[in-house]
Chains A and B, each alone.
Chain A
Amino acid sequence: MEQYALVYKDLYRVAYYYLGDSHEAEDAVGDTVLAAYEGYGKLRKKEAFRAWIFKILTIQCKRRMQRFYENQAALTESSAVHEPDYIDKTYIQTLFQGLSEEERLIVSLMVFGGYKSREVADFLQRNHSTVRSKYRRAVARLKKQLEDGDEKSAQK
C-alpha cells in the first residue's frame, strides 16, 4: 500500500486527462490497482513498481476507450461523437480533450506520469520518434489554442 499511496494521484490524473471522465478514470484506477496487487508478488524488482503500475493503467484505459467506441458504434447515429461532459472542466481540460486519443495518452503519461518519451514509446510499443513528434505537436497545438483563446478574451 505504501507504494500505491505514492502514485495513486498521478495514476488518476493520467486516467482523467486521457479518458476525460472522472467516473471512468476512477474505475480505471480501481481496476488497475486490484490487478496490480494480484500480480505484485511476481514483480521481481519492486522498485519498478511505478513503471509497472502505469503500464497496467495504460492498458486499462485503452480498454475502456475501446469499450467506449464500441458502445458508441452500437448506439444510434445521433450523438455518435465522443462528447465528454464539459461541466466542471477547466478551460485547459476542455482543450486537452480536443487532442487525439493517442496524444492525450502520450502527454498525460509524460506530464502527470513523469515519463520520458522513450519509456512512453516502450509502453505503447510505438516508435520513439513517433512518440516524440506526437508529443511535440500536441503541446504545440495546446499552446496555439491557449494563445488564440487569450487573444480572443483580450479583444473582448
Chain B
Amino acid sequence: MEKKRILEMLKEDGENLEIPEGISPEKIEEKLKRGKTKRRSYGKILVGLAGAACAALVFLGAYQGRLGEEAAQYAYIEEDNLPESAGETPELVLETAEASDSYDRVYDMLVEPPGSREMIKYSQKDVSMGTAVEEDSVSQAHSMTNLRTEGVDEGGILKNDGKYLYVMQTSKNGREKSIHILKAEKGKLTQTAEIKGLKGAVEFYLQGNQLLVLEQEYKEKEEGIYTEGSLISVEDAAVAAEYANPVENGETIIRVYDIRNRESPRLLNSLRQDGIYETSRIQDGILYTISRFYAYKGRREDLASYVPSVQEKKLPVRCIFLPEEAEDNSYLVITALSLQSTEDFIEQKAIFSAGYGGYYVSEKNLYVLKTKMQGEERETAVFRYAYQQGKIEENGKTAVPGMVDDSFSIDEHEGYLRILTTDWKEGETVNALYILDKDLKPAGRITGLAKGEQIYSARFLGDTAYFVTFRQIDPLFTVDLSNPRKPKITGELKITGFSEYLHFYGENLLLGIGRESDPATGENQGVKLSMFDISNSSKVKEVKKLVLKDYFYSEAFYDYRKVLISPAENIIGFQTEEDYTVYSYDEEKGFIEELTIKKAALTKDGEYQETEGAFIGDCFYLLKVIDGVEAYDLNTKKKIGAWKK
C-alpha cells in the first residue's frame, strides 16, 4: 500500500464524517448575535495579536492568558521587585571590540533549538506617531490618519492632503499591490498616476511632496533533502520538497518617491533592511523603520543566519544592543532615514531578543514593550530608546507587574511615564497605574484597582488619566496625576457596556466606541457609542449614547488608525462588521447617523476587503482596498462618484 493511499483514505474518511449541526454557520451566527460577553475576555487578548505586520506570524500562545477564567493563580510580582531594574541602562556590549570576534557574543546567546521555547507573541497593538503633512495651498478641511501621538506620523493605506487622495489597492489574490494618486474634486475622482508592482507593500506615508512606501519581501530559503530517520525514500523526498515552504525571514524595503509632479511620481531610492516589517513612524522629517529579523543557530561562520544586514551590509556589532540573557532569537532592526537626503540611512541599530509586547512612541522616545509570562508571573519590561534627530540611543529600562492593553495605556508626559496594567493575583485580575520618573524610577502608583475586571481602553490628557475596566458594568475611572508621586482617583462612573476605544472630542467631551451589555446577564447587546462630559473630572457623565443592536464588533476596537475622526469637523467614521458608518454628534440629539454603506468590506464575490474613510470638505470618500474608492455627498447622503482601478 502506498503512503499516498493512506492519506487518501484518511481524507475520504474525513469527508464522510458527519458535521454537527451546532457548528453550522447559521447556528454560529445566532450564537454570535447572542454573544455572551463573558467570552469577550478571550477576544481582547486575541485582538492584540493580529496587528503584527505579518498575520501569518500571529501566534496564539497568548491565548493562554484568558483572564481569570481558568483557575490560574498568577503570582503578583512583589512590588519590591519593581524598582530593582529601574533606571539601569542595559549594557551596550562590546562598544570597542573587533567586529569579527564580537559576533560570537551574539552567537553564544542564541537560544536553541530555535522556536522550541514557549514564546508569547503578544500583539503589536500598535503604538504610534503624527501627521505633519506640509500643506500647500489647500483650503478645504480634510481628514488625516488617526495617530497615537500628535506630531508623530504613522503609515496607512489611505492618505489625504485635501486635494488628492493617495490610496492603496490590492489584487484579489493579495499578491499585487499598487498606490494610486487620485485628484478629488467634489466627489469627482480622477487618477493622475499609479505606482505599480508593489508586491509586498504594507503601508505608506505622504510627506509634502514625498511618498514613502514600506514594503516587505519574504526570503525563501533553499533546503536540502531531508534525511532524518530511516524513512527516507524517493516518495519521501517528494513529500519533503512539497512541504518545504520555509519562509524564514524577510526584508523590509523602503521606497521613496518624489511626487512634486502628481502625474509622474519618480522613484528616488529604495533602501533595504533585514527583517519582516513591524512598524514605522515619521518625526521631524525622519523616518524610523522597525523590522523583525529571526536569527537561528546554524554554523558560527554563517553570520547571515544570525546577524541582520542593513543595505546588504552586516550590522556592526557596536550597533547591536544585547540583553543580559536572551529569551528569544529575534532582533528588532531599527533604522532612521532623513527625508532630506534619502541615499542612505543615517542610523541603524538592532535590539537582540526584544521579545513581543508592542510599542509606544512618544515625541522623544521609542518604548519597546516585552511581555513576560514565566510560570505564573506576568510582567511588562519597558525598554526606552531616545530617537531624536535620527540618533537612536538606549535611554533606560524598567519593568512593571502585569500586562499593558495597548499603546494608549502607556503615556509620557513632562518626563514622567504613566503605565496602566492588568495583572493577576490569586486567580483574579487586578489593575494598577504606575508612574515612573525621568530615570524610570518609581514615582507614584495606585494598585489593586477594579478587582476581577480588566482594562479595556485608556486615554491620558495632560495631568488626567481616563480608563475603562469591565466585567459586567463599565466603570470609567478618572485619575488626577498632577502630583505624579500621589496619583488620585477622582471619579468612577458606572455605566452599562464598555468602551474599547476612547478619543477626546472637543474640549470637554470624551468619545467612547465599544460594546453595550446587559448588566444582569453580561450578554453582548451590540456596538455602542458613548459621549462623556469630562468638564468636571470628579463628575464625569455619560451624556449621550447610541447602541447599534445589529452589530457585535467594530474595526474601531482594534485599530485606531482605521477610525476616521475629526472633532473640528464633527465627523466620526468606522467599520462595524462589514458595513461602514459615519456619524456626527449633536449636544441635543446625540449621535446622528450620516451615512451607512452596507457591505462595504465585501467584494462582489464575498471576499473580505479592508476599508478606510476620509473626507474633504463635505465629501466623504470610502476606500475599499480591492474595489476602489466611492464618493458621497455628506449633505445629500448620495453617492456622487466612484473610481475603480
Chain A residue at minimal CB-CB distance from B26: A1
Assess whether A125 is in contact with B14, with CB atoms less than 8 Å apart.
Answer: no
CB of A44, distance to nearest CB on chain B (Å): 5
Task: Please name all residues of chain B whose beta carbon is closer than 8 Å to the beta carbon of A43 when the two chains form the complex.
Answer: 50, 55, 58
Q: Is the C-beta of B61 less than 8 angstroms from some C-beta in chain A? A: yes
Task: Please name all residues of chain B whose beta carbon is closer than 8 Å to the beta carbon of A48 when the two chains form the complex.
Answer: 55-56, 58
Assess whether B3 is in contact with A59, with CB atoms less than 8 Å apart.
Answer: no
Task: Please name all residues of chain A whose beta carbon is closer than 8 Å to the beta carbon of B3 when the two chains form the complex.
Answer: 139-140, 143
- 24-49 of chain B: CB within 8 A of chain A: 24-25, 28-29, 31-32, 35, 39-40, 42-49
Given A38-B39, A125-B117, A140-B231 in contact, is the A118-B243 Cβ separation under 8 Å? yes
Segment of B4-12, B431-439, B456-464, B528-536 in the binding face: B4-12
Given A34-B31, A56-B63, A133-B228 in contact, is the A39-B23 Cβ separation under 8 Å? no
Segment of B146-154, B386-394, B549-557 in the binding face: B549-557
**Could you tell me the distance between the alpha carbons of A137 and B3 in the complex, rounded to whole angstroms?**
11
Assess whether A139 is in contact with B43, with CB atoms less than 8 Å apart.
Answer: no
- From A17, A22, A38, A150, contact of B47 by CB (8 A): A38
- 523-562 of chain B: CB within 8 A of chain A: 552-555, 557-559
- From B20, B23, B239, contact of A136 by CB (8 A): B239
Q: Is the C-beta of B636 less than 8 angstroms from some C-beta in chain A? A: no
Assess whether A38 is in contact with B40, with CB atoms less than 8 Å apart.
Answer: yes
**Could you tell me the distance between the alpha carbons of A22 and B17 in the complex, rounded to whole angstroms?**
10
Given A35-B39, A111-B11 in contact, is the A41-B240 Cβ separation under 8 Å? no
Q: Is the C-beta of B609 less than 8 angstroms from some C-beta in chain A? A: yes
Q: Which of under 10, 10 to 19, 20 to 34, or 35 or more describes the interface residues of A?
A: 35 or more
Annotate B42-78 by CB proximity to A: 1 below 8 A, 0 otherwise: 1111111111111111111101100000000000000
Task: Please name all residues of chain B whose beta carbon is closer than 8 Å to the beta carbon of A22 when the two chains form the complex.
Answer: 18, 20
Given A132-B243, A140-B3 in contact, is the A127-B113 Cβ separation under 8 Å? yes
**Could you tell me the distance between the alpha carbons of A42 and B606 in the complex, rounded to whole angstroms?**
19
Assess whether B226 is in contact with A55, with CB atoms less than 8 Å apart.
Answer: no
Assess whether B558 is in contact with A116, with CB atoms less than 8 Å apart.
Answer: no
Assess whether A51 is in contact with B60, with CB atoms less than 8 Å apart.
Answer: no
Assess whether B7 is in contact with A39, with CB atoms less than 8 Å apart.
Answer: no
Assess whether B58 is in contact with A90, with CB atoms less than 8 Å apart.
Answer: no
- From A9, A45, A121, A128, contact of B174 by CB (8 A): A45
Chain A residue at minimal CB-CB distance from B610: A46
Given A22-B20, A30-B23, A132-B226 in contact, is the A111-B14 Cβ separation under 8 Å? yes
Q: Is the C-beta of B504 less than 8 angstroms from some C-beta in chain A? A: no
Q: Is the C-beta of A146 less than 8 angstroms from some C-beta in chain B? A: yes
Assess whether B59 is in contact with A55, with CB atoms less than 8 Å apart.
Answer: yes
Task: Please name all residues of chain B whose beta carbon is closer than 8 Å to the beta carbon of A52 when the two chains form the complex.
Answer: 50, 55, 58
Assess whether A26 is in contact with B22, with CB atoms less than 8 Å apart.
Answer: yes
CB of A105, distance to nearest CB on chain B (Å): 14
Annotate A49-88 by CB proximity to B: 1 below 8 A, 0 otherwise: 1011001101100000000000000000000000000000
Assess whether B28 is in contact with A41, with CB atoms less than 8 Å apart.
Answer: no
Assess whether B25 is in contact with A5, with CB atoms less than 8 Å apart.
Answer: yes
CB of B275, distance to nearest CB on chain A (Å): 17
- 98-113 of chain A: CB within 8 A of chain B: 107, 111-112
Beyond A12-B17, A122-B115, A132-B240, list 10 extra A-B contacts (CB 8 Å): A4-B25, A38-B47, A40-B553, A41-B557, A42-B51, A48-B55, A52-B55, A125-B116, A127-B113, A129-B226
Name 20 interchain pairs, CB-CB below 8 A, sorted by A. A4-B25, A8-B19, A8-B23, A8-B28, A13-B14, A29-B23, A30-B28, A37-B43, A38-B44, A39-B50, A42-B125, A45-B56, A47-B608, A90-B13, A92-B13, A107-B10, A116-B243, A122-B56, A139-B3, A143-B3
